Structure 1
């Protein structure tokens, strides 16, 4: 079996799928907007070089590295995907990374709390969002800030991409009326909600154009099947954004 064939059986949330996305986003980012989005989120957050930050669902480490390099805190990245964490540890040795399911994060940090917990396009992929927020509250103190940068569901029902029947393919964007109740139940209080619907449309339009423009290079490196998955997935996301079924947001909360 050749190199391409071994990659073609993996989904976009596996290591090679994340590498494909990162190759289009000018860094090891799995979230929309890349550095612009990070800066925009931190406009609403505390910036302090010695604060302890947890990047929950950190992927391959680009976001954690960027934040730490800005002097906004000492970052620890956690992700369930072991190969991505190994990649992040090797590429960004000055940032602390651990492999863990978010619901088990207290086992990794039994005596630690964080001043700021961030999630960049990770929350939608958690099969059990309630348990995830409960677990994150266990590694927070009473003044901890929580920032979720995420897709939002703008439909009256569930948007066409919604899926919760397979943990490996979960797609549960934020519904404002639901997330407030979940936050309250898990020891968090919503502070602000900033819609980013126009920004998401711009970012995903630009990203999808890159997928089309770099087709041959992506197929050569990742295989036709993996490219096809990326094309289909991001075409669906962009379509849902353009038809106002899917949007984006910055959600800030604090521990209570």
Structure 2
């Protein structure tokens, strides 16, 4: 099982995480990212691949920014709009932001979403077209250290990007990398906590879907943690600014 991006599956993961988050670390991860790239009050923010909406809402609350989230799944976006009415959520492809009628943005966040994008350069091209001058980007995501071993583990899609790709693709579209924060150990800890929550709530979670589905999900995330521990997979925060 390589995909967990349907609304039902995202909702299941949210029950484990204790909130409508689609990334490890939940609010701790958001605070970490905001400490490196924080919008000023009143700036316009894009949450690219927003999932169920809690991350966009947290950014809005913590930074006093105007936040719009974009996600490919219409059911997910419908939930986010109903659950977080103070934010705006739009169904669409983040590589085609120009077709969505969004306002120009000052800051872009991507929390564990770009790993699933096959055309990374197209993502950053779309970000450039929708951004104000000197806009900033924070990408909190997986890093593929050993693509072959990661493919054998089959716990993530083959589109997970290498560190080199995360430098080169943005630069080709006019973005300058301003920093890289290694989060390998943090990801190991976050996934350990995630698995512990699964085990503590096995009965309720198994009843929510099925015990077989529970076991399948647990194996997927245990395999991801093993890949992290073995140095096959990593995590990082990349920050960028739009070159003038």
TM-score higher than 0.5 here? Answer: yes
Residue 118 of structure 1 and its aligned partner are, at CA, apart by 0.4
Residue 213 of structure 1 and its aligned partner are, at CA, apart by 2.3
Partner Cα distance (2:182, 2:72) in 1: 28
Equivalent position of 1:4 in the other structure: none
Q: Is 2:197 aligned against 1:210?
A: yes
Equivalent position of 2:72 in the other structure: 80
**2:184 aligns with one of 168, 192, 197:** 197
Equivalent position of 1:103 in the other structure: 95
Structure 1 unmatched ranges of 5 or more = 1-8
Residue 190 of structure 1 and its aligned partner are, at CA, apart by 0.7
Cα distance per residue 1:141-195 (max 9 Å; x no partner): 221001100111223x54424899xxxx734333122221111112211110000
SS at match of 1:70: helix
Cα distance per residue 1:25-52 (max 9 Å; x no partner): 1210010100011001111113312000
SS at match of 1:59: coil
Partners of 1:33 and 1:203 within 8 A in 2? yes
Task: Specify whether residues 205 and 131 from structure 1 end up closer, same or farther in structure 2 by C-alpha distance, changes over 3 A only.
Answer: same
Equivalent position of 1:14 in the other structure: 6
- 1 or 2, which has the higher helix percentage? 2
Residue 120 of structure 1 and its aligned partner are, at CA, apart by 0.2
Q: Aligned ranges for residues 115-130 of structure 1 at < 5 Å?
A: 115-130=106-121
Partner Cα distance (1:248, 1:198) in 2: 8
Task: Specify whether residues 160 and 170 from structure 1 end up closer, same or farther in structure 2 by C-alpha distance, changes over 3 A only.
Answer: closer
Partners of 1:104 and 1:135 within 8 A in 2? yes
Partners of 1:78 and 1:102 within 8 A in 2? yes
**1:41 aligns with one of 22, 33, 57:** 33
Q: Is 2:52 aligned against 1:53?
A: no
Partner Cα distance (2:152, 2:164) in 1: 16
Equivalent position of 1:5 in the other structure: none
Q: Aligned ranges for residues 140-159 of structure 1 at < 5 Å?
A: 140-155=131-146, 157-159=147-149
Residue 212 of structure 1 and its aligned partner are, at CA, apart by 2.2
Partner Cα distance (1:194, 1:204) in 2: 18
Q: CA RMSD in A?
A: 2.1
Residue-pair matches, total: 242
Q: Name the TM-score, length of structure 1 as normaliser.
A: 0.88
Structure 2 unmatched ranges of 5 or more = none
Partner Cα distance (2:229, 2:164) in 1: 22
**2:20 aligns with one of 6, 20, 28:** 28
Cα distance per residue 1:104-128 (max 9 Å; x no partner): 1111126x31000000000101122
Partners of 1:127 and 1:170 within 8 A in 2? no
Partner Cα distance (2:167, 2:201) in 1: 40
